[in-house]
Structure 1
Amino acid sequence: MKIQPFATEQYYARYEFSTPHLLSVSDCETISIGELLQMANVSLEKMGQVRLGYTESQGNPVLREAVANTYDKVSAEQVIILTSPVEGIYLTLQAMLEPEDEVIVLVPAYDALINVAEHVSRHVQRWEIVPTATGWQLDLDKLAALVNPKTKLIVVNFPHNPTGYLPTRSQFDTIIELARKEGVWLFCDEMYRGLEHGGRPQLPSAADSYERSIVLSGLSKTHGLPGLRAGWLVIPDEEVRQAIINWKHYTTICPAAPTEFLALAALDIGEELAQRSQTLIRQNLQLAETFFAQWQDFFNWRPPIAGSVALVGIDVTSATSYCHHLAQAAGVLLLPATFMGSDDQHVRFGFGRRSFPSALSHYDTYLKQAMAMMG
């Protein structure tokens, strides 16, 4: 059975490495291997001693222990090290779902969270996040209406990509209680956890909160290391964990030894890397506030409260067509929200890169020239 095209990744494959002004990417500014090792006080010589043989399928025990230590109630045995964070989505949904199982997915969302669920179960209910005058909100009554005895899995991601929304602790607890009431599994993508804004408290991980949770996390977003392809799943339930490991045997078998070595170094300085990303996002959001205030007739700006991205309304007939034209005509890359299950009047902005100020300035100049030509 064919799966839907992975629209977001196909779009970035087409434009990301040929378009100079990136305003939509979701990761944070990265560093080199040398910089990482220096920050972690690890020698390049030590990395050179890493053997390139097979590794343990579940992941290096030392790395799994380091991951477990970033949670409150997680043991190393509950952690599976992935070859790529997106692998965790594929493995979980293949292992958990059968045709006809009902799945509820919070949308908009990263394509894989929607498309793989639809590919396997063919019964996805979309739980839409709701726009407000100044931000976004969850419709918990709608979720309660969607959950039923046939529901197998609820899929969420917090902080939310692409809106930048973060539920309150009370809202998060309500989601868990709705799942617990019907014995529903909860898949929680926590790739942006640690990027809360304005002093907002960090939500507890679903792995520390719900016995029927599967949590995805990694080093691509908050830590700014997407090229490392380091990620993990946390799965309290032993039976589900073994089912996912079995699927991993059919995909990548085991993590790459160099990735595990560097991931361990990164976790040793995890707070420093996260603070670096937080500072950059905070600076870029200040620029964005000024930009959107100047262009309030063209954009509907709902500031993010967590994460590195925001979903922004745009006054065009088709955001998809506009984004393709913008990349080709102006060298500016925005992401159409249609790829993530939203409407065609929104685009995603990303605030984690050091190049954001220059890219935003270029886009501002382009908009002024375009408006002058129209006027």
Structure 2
Amino acid sequence: MQYVLDLASDEERASWEHLKLGYTETRGSEPLREAIQQHYQTINLDEIIVSSPGEANFILMNVLLSKGDEVICMAPMYQSLYQVAKDLDCSLSFWKPEEESGNWTYQPSDLKKLITDKTKLIVVNFPHNPTGFCPNIDDYMEIISIARAHGITIFSDEMYRFLSHGNKETLPSMCDVYENSVSLWGAAKTFGLAGLRLGWLTSKNKSLLQKVENFKDYLSICNSATSEILATIGLNNMEHFVQPNLKKITSNINLFSEFHEKHQSFFDFSKPSYGSTAFIKLHIPETTYEFAEKLVKETGIMLLPAETFEYGTSHARIGFGRENFPEVLRIFEDYLVKNYKY
């Protein structure tokens, strides 16, 4: 927290020092929304609503979807992005990727085949968790063209926004290029400030955002006053968070790539160009769930098996966002050498 406060302007420091711990504005404070607005091309202050990211997803699904609606989601995917729709008795179709030696690709042509007259929502996540995939700009615009031609809303999870490696292009936010979309971003991944529990929805659809605001009154009502100021400082000094975060993630990816060179027969892996995760395929006699259960019990290392994504039994997600990754990798290697003959 001190790192954040040391970056504060005089005005932000005064806001912190004179902060009153009462209710805040439902949509988020004006200074916070102004700090958010600067990172978009077309979004106005009244086209932003702040909440926790999970709450934002839960509310949006509840105000947008009804029983029987058809929803298309990427697979594998962060579970709540489709589970809420599933719990609302929506019909789900999954846009599945092509995989080759650890490389993942989602083809817009495969998405187009899933569209029906009843499709209400398409859920995308770029950069993608867990695979690290991100489309090029042409494919990105093709996805939008498919949705626009059918009048379908896109919900775009952009929690890993700006985490691109090796000067790869950062896609424009969906809300800036498609009028019938809602984008989700937040402080957790890009900034490494998960403890603030703040994210935001942005959209040109003001009536939809009003429904989100109304629903929020039944949940959190408003955001944490302390978190709002800290997030404002972070957003106004984004380079001081993104660059150190990228340096750490890139270093960990390179270490894992070297690890893969030594243990290629154990798993498939290709360096992700975006985000802080990878989805590896394990070549083991048991399921990845069984492997993960033994691993965490014997070493304390946690990885997410494919079963938690409802995507078979052979893959696992690796996260590159922690400072102690080199230490974890050493323990992981000792475990493999001891228990597996690869």
TM-score (norm 2): 0.96
Q: Does 1:96 align with 2:26?
A: no
Q: How many Å separate the matches in 1 of 2:318 and 2:91?
A: 30
Match of 1:318 in 2: 287
1:71-91 deviation digits (Å, cap 9, x = unpaired): 111111100011x11111101
1:313-349 deviation digits (Å, cap 9, x = unpaired): 1112200111011000122211112212312100111
> Partner of 1:307: helix, strand, or coil?
coil
Q: Does 1:346 align with 2:315?
A: yes
Q: How many Å separate the matches in 2 of 1:303 and 1:125?
A: 28
Match of 1:357 in 2: 326
Select between 134-143 and 287-296 the one with higher mean Cα deviation.
Answer: 134-143
Matched residue type, 1:101? D
Q: How many Å separate the matches in 1 of 2:247 and 2:152?
A: 38
Q: Does 1:143 align with 2:111?
A: yes
Inter-CA distance 235–46: structure 2 relative to 1 (3 Å threshold):
closer
Q: How many Å separate the matches in 1 of 2:157 and 2:103?
A: 21
Counterpart among 54, 61, 72 of residue 41 in structure 2: 72
Match of 1:200 in 2: 168
Matches for 1:151-300 after TM superposition, within 5 Å: 151-300=119-268
Matched residue type, 1:348? R
> Partner of 2:88: helix, strand, or coil?
helix
Matched residue type, 2:242? A
Match of 1:58 in 2: 27
Q: How many Å separate the matches in 1 of 2:311 and 2:138?
A: 26
Counterpart among 290, 299, 304 of residue 330 in structure 1: 299
Cα drift, residue 298 of structure 1:
0.5
Q: How many Å separate the matches in 1 of 2:3 and 2:273?
A: 30
Q: How many Å separate the matches in 1 of 2:6 and 2:201?
A: 28
> Partner of 1:55: helix, strand, or coil?
coil
Give yes or no for contact 1:105–1:124 (8 Å, CA) kept in 2: yes
Q: How many Å separate the matches in 2 of 1:272 and 1:96?
A: 36
1:87-115 deviation digits (Å, cap 9, x = unpaired): 11101100100000100001111110010
1:231-268 deviation digits (Å, cap 9, x = unpaired): 10002111111111111111111111111111111111
Cα drift, residue 355 of structure 1:
0.4
Q: How many Å separate the matches in 2 of 1:189 and 1:127?
A: 15
| Higher RCO (CA < 8 A, seq sep 6+) | 1
Q: Does 1:35 align with 2:10?
A: no
Match of 1:118 in 2: 86
Q: Number of paired residues?
A: 340
> Partner of 1:36: helix, strand, or coil?
helix
Matched residue type, 1:170? D
1:179-230 deviation digits (Å, cap 9, x = unpaired): 0000000000000011111111001110111001110000100100001111
- State, as a whole percentage, how many aligned pairs show the same letter: 36
Alpha-carbon RMSD across the aligned residues, in angstroms, is: 1.5
Give yes or no for contact 2:102–2:281 (8 Å, CA) kept in 1: no
Cα drift, residue 357 of structure 1:
0.6
1:44-95 deviation digits (Å, cap 9, x = unpaired): 775242111111111111211111111111111100011x111111011001
> Partner of 1:188: helix, strand, or coil?
strand
Structure 2: gaps (5+ residues): none
> Partner of 1:88: helix, strand, or coil?
helix
Matched residue type, 2:255? L
Q: How many Å separate the matches in 2 of 1:229 and 1:67?
A: 15
Q: How many Å separate the matches in 2 of 1:163 and 1:133?
A: 12
Structure 1: gaps (5+ residues): 1-32
> Partner of 1:216: helix, strand, or coil?
strand
Give yes or no for contact 1:153–1:186 (8 Å, CA) kept in 2: yes
Give yes or no for contact 1:72–1:208 (8 Å, CA) kept in 2: yes
Q: How many Å separate the matches in 1 of 2:110 and 2:338?
A: 44
Give yes or no for contact 1:105–1:127 (8 Å, CA) kept in 2: yes
Select between 114-123 and 344-353 the one with higher mean Cα deviation.
Answer: 114-123
Matched residue type, 1:343? G
Q: How many Å separate the matches in 2 of 1:41 and 1:56?
A: 22
Match of 2:50 in 1: 81
